[in-house]
Each structure stands twice: as C-alpha cells, then as structure tokens.
Structure 1
Amino acid sequence: MKKVAIIQDMSSFGKCSLTAAIPVLSVMGVQAVPLPTAVLTSQTEYPSYYCEDLTAKMRHFTDEWSKLGVTFDGIHTGFVTGKEQIENIFSFLDTFYKKGTKLLVDPVMGDRGEMYDVFTDELIGYMKELAKRADIITPNVTECCLLTRLPYDKLHSYQSNEDYLTAIREAGHQLQSMTGASVIITGLNPPAISGTEYVGNMYIDGKGSFHSLFESNGKSYSGTGDLFASVIMGGMMRGQDVEETMKLAEKFLSAAIEATVMERIPTVDGVNFETFLGMLI
C-alpha cells in the first residue's frame, strides 16, 4: 500500500485539513500518515477556538521516522503558521523526498481576495520556494494572485467569462513557469451571466490547460479545498490522469455540497462528505 505523509494542522471541528485528508486518502487505498503542525479545537473561522502550535515538535517526526527507515510515495502539505514551519518542511523533504516521490503543495494563504492574518510578504516568499519543490500545486484564485502578484480586484472587473478565464490562464502559466510544477487553480468564480453564478477549476502544465465550470450556490464551505487537493493526491497515487481525477473530485464535492445545503449546515462546519466517500473507491 502506498503511503502519503500529510503535513497539516488538525482542527477538531470544520472538516478540513487532516480530518478531511485522512478519510479521503484512506478510502482511495492510500495509507495516510499525519504530521500535525498544530492542533485546534476548531478551524479559525469559528468565533472562538484554541490552537496549540506544534512547530517545535515537527522535527521529532522527521527524526523518528528517519530512524524507522520509512519511505513515502507522496507528501502533501497544507496550511502553515510561519516560516519556521516551512523550514521544517524543507528539512522533511531533504530526508524523505526521493526519486519517485510526489509532492503536492496546497499553498493555503487566503481566500475571497483576503490574505490570512498569519501571512506576510516574507512568508509568501517562503511559500514560493516550497512551491518550487512541488510536482503539483493547488492554489485557489486568491493564492494564485498572491503568488503571481495579479491584482485580485482586476479579475472581478471583467465583464465576460472569456476575459476572466484568459487572465486566470495567464497567471497559471506564469505560476507554472515560475515553479516548474503543474498547477490546479481552484475556486474559479467568473462574472455571473444572466444571473447564473459559476465555480470551477483550471489545470495548467507545460503543455497546455483545461478547465471546468459548473453552477454554484454562491456559498463557500470550510474544507472543500482540502478535500479537493486530497482527491488529487489520491489520484496521483493511483496513477490516474489528472483530468479524470479532477472530474472525480468535482463530482464528489458537488454531491457533498448539495446534501449539506439540503440540511442547512452552516458553512463553517464544512460539508457532509462522509456519506459520499464511496464515490472515490
């Protein structure tokens, strides 16, 4: 069985990060090996939460796993709290990233045009360096803008889907050229035409690009980006084509979101994905 090290936080409520990645990878036939960067009572969009930062503990995982002589087929990184955590990830990669290992970097830095409070220009620079080590990166639109300096507001000045998608594609090619990694930009949100709002994803590599769009309910749920990236990681471990895996992830998330809307679940609580994990087998 293939093994993937998941370097992310563990939030008890919010269905994101490790609590999203572990079940997805497990059902896709991959052993999920967590390296928690922090433990939170809930993800940070809840009105109150407690966070225990584990930066100082991360090197113990590298050291102890090294003693065991373990190897990883994949490494999946997500939210980090500062440059020291990224430095610890570099140390982890120096030890465990070997020929044949696949690295997926989800550069979690912001959403809806806003950068998370913990991030600074210096930390964005560190994230760029981490992205250069990756085989594939999965930024959302906001994170793509932060990494390429594309003004987020400019995207929402376009009056047509075509202009919006062209701008995203150009930024994606810039990011691909800058990092050498394949890029999946998530959370596309082109201008609403005839009152219909769409959301989607775009894949860019050195050969070209493709994208998908589907109708949106206009809501943003906790953990959907983590679930999407985890499906992509699982697909990589199964040797699936990226376009095939993207379609699977979108179908899985669409079903989970629809069920969540029906039950009127608050967006901070995440989506009811558990019922639909069988779709990923």
Structure 2
Amino acid sequence: MKKKQILLINDMAGYGKVATAAMLPILSYMGHPTYNLPTALVSNTLDYGKFNILETTEYIKGVFPVWRELGFSFDAIATGFMASETQARIIAAYCREQAENGTVVYVDPIMGDEGKLYNGVTDEAIKSMREMVSVAHLVFPNYTEACYLTDSQYDAAGVTAEGARRLLDSLLKLGTKSALITSIRVDGQPSVVGYNHVNGEYFTQPYTEIPVHFPGTGDIFSAVLIGYLLGGKELKPSTRKAMDVVYKLIDLNKDNTDKNRGIPLEKYLDVL
C-alpha cells in the first residue's frame, strides 16, 4: 500500500523531543513521507523554566502561496501548538481548503493541562482553537482542553461514563467528525475515551499511570495514533496501540536523570 504524505504544523524545539521533534522521527520510521511547517521555534522544552521563542506567522503567510503555486498537496495534516490567534486563523483556512480536496485533518488543540491553561493562552486563543476543531476529521484534546473548548466544568476527580460521552458529544458539536479525550479519569480509572464517526462507536480505553513526567508524551501518542490511522487501521485499535507505545517508552525511560528533554526516541523506535 502506498504510504500517505503528512504535513506536521507544530512548534519545533531545538533541545528536547517534543512537538515536531518528537513526531517527525516516529512517522518517518513508520514509512510515511513527513513534511513540516513550524508554528514557532523554541530554544528548548518549556519544562526547564527558561526558554526563547520565535513566532513564525509572517513566515507561514509566505509559505502557503508558494506551495499553492507549486501544486503541493498532502494526504493528511496534523496541527498542534498555535502561537497566536492570527496564526490559527491562517492555518485553519489552509486546512479547510485542503480538506475540500480530500486531505484528512488531525487537530491536537494544545492549550493546557491539569485544569489550567498554559501561560499565554488567552480566551481569543481558545476561540481560534475552536475554529481549528471545526475543520478537523479527528481532534484529540486532553481532559483540560476538552473542558475549555466546550465550556464544561473541569473536575479533578474526573467524570462518569455518561459525563465522558456528553463531553465527546460537545466536541462533535464544534464540527469535528471523530474525537478522543486523553488523560481523563472515567469512574476513577485513567482512560482515553473516543467516538468514531465511521461506525458510530463510543469507546473507553483504560490505562495504568506511571508516576513520572516527560514532556512530549502527548506528541508521541499523536504520532503513533496518526501513523496507524494512515496505515488503514481503525480508530479504537490505533488508540490502544498509541497508548501502549507511550506506556512502554515511559517505563523504559522512567529512571532517566534529565526528564525535561523528553524521551530519546531514536534509541527506541523498534518499540513501534
């Protein structure tokens, strides 16, 4: 089967395996021709507490006309961190245009975690991320992001199975065809919940937490998930595979001294 071409629209860290730096090696290893458009250049993972960031909106404004003129197209686009509301609007318009020509759009609405927005994420940014969700074939926020996108109340204790389904339905109302919610406690059990529009199935995939923190694990999850979806696998088994890979990689690296740089993926690509 011919491998699918995918464009990653996300930030690029100079030091650390997060965002594009984490996703590109995984998707390439899985055989998909992978291209990238950085939304921002970041000196290092934010977990170090000090960083330098360069927003690339002006650069992006000049890229899309060139790509249109050259006739470039992609089978899929995966979006992540948006550096500004203006940038999100430009990228959403491009994704909508490409989707009309058959491109599948995956959206990771990176905005916050553990009930809080990341520093610098504004109400306008939430609105612009909703616009990204409106053009998505599949969106996969974490529990915090799902609550902000849908104006739902965040509860640190999690939700019931019925509450998880309501939250998924609220995401679908924003325009996405299918949806996942990661890092959500369902009846006390850490889980990923989902809805697959292809077969109308709601599902819950429980997992066991390893009590260590690595930046970039969400990006690893995204890349593995997308890699299997592009290979023709269904959403539920692709989700389980991505969860299992993340668990194994965390387990293999849980004793690393400097966790802030993320997981050194190149050593462990055979886990895929």
Tell whether the structures are fold-level matches, with TM greater than 0.5: yes
After superposition, the Cα gap between the structure-2 partners of 1:166 and 1:21, relative to the gap in structure 1 and judged at 3 Å, is: same
* 1:68-115 deviation line (CA, Å, top 9, x unaligned): 211100001000111111122034225533432110010001011110
Residue matched to 1:74: 76
Q: CA separation in 2, counterparts of 1:264 and 1:189?
A: 29
Residue matched to 1:63: 65
After superposition, the Cα gap between the structure-2 partners of 1:155 and 1:137, relative to the gap in structure 1 and judged at 3 Å, is: same
2:256 matches 1:260: no
Residue matched to 1:228: 221
Q: CA separation in 2, counterparts of 1:165 and 1:222?
A: 28
2:11 matches 1:4: no
Residue matched to 2:205: 212
Letter in 2 for 1:187: S
Q: CA separation in 2, counterparts of 1:247 and 1:276?
A: 19
Aligned counterpart for 2:266 among listed residues 262, 274, 281: 274
Shift of 1:30: 0.8
Of the structure 1 ranges 182-191 and 18-27, higher mean CA displacement relative to structure 2 is found in 182-191
Q: CA separation in 1, counterparts of 2:237 and 2:186?
A: 23
Residue matched to 2:190: 199
Shift of 1:199: 3.0
Q: CA separation in 2, counterparts of 1:237 and 1:70?
A: 19
Shift of 1:265: 4.0
Identity of aligned residues (%): 28
After superposition, the Cα gap between the structure-2 partners of 1:80 and 1:49, relative to the gap in structure 1 and judged at 3 Å, is: same
Shift of 1:255: 1.1
Residue matched to 1:109: 111
Residue matched to 2:183: 187
Letter in 1 for 2:234: D
SS at match of 2:110: coil
Q: CA separation in 1, counterparts of 2:74 and 2:166?
A: 33
Residue matched to 2:91: 89
| Runs of 5+ unmatched residues, structure 1 | 193-197
| Runs of 5+ unmatched residues, structure 2 | none
Letter in 2 for 1:274: E
Task: Map 1:167-182 to 2 at 5 A.
Answer: 167-182=163-178
SS at match of 2:73: coil
Aligned counterpart for 1:15 among listed residues 17, 26, 33: 17
Letter in 2 for 1:199: P
- C-alpha RMSD of the superposition: 1.9
Number of residue-to-residue matches in the alignment: 268
2:235 matches 1:242: yes
Shift of 1:168: 2.1
SS at match of 1:218: coil
Letter in 2 for 1:93: C
Shift of 1:200: 2.5
Assess if the C-alpha contact under 8 Å between 1:131 and 1:181 holds in 2.
no
Q: CA separation in 2, counterparts of 1:94 and 1:189?
A: 33
Assess if the C-alpha contact under 8 Å between 1:62 and 1:95 holds in 2.
no
Q: CA separation in 2, counterparts of 1:130 and 1:46?
A: 29
Q: TM-score, normalised by structure 2?
A: 0.91
Shift of 1:271: 2.3
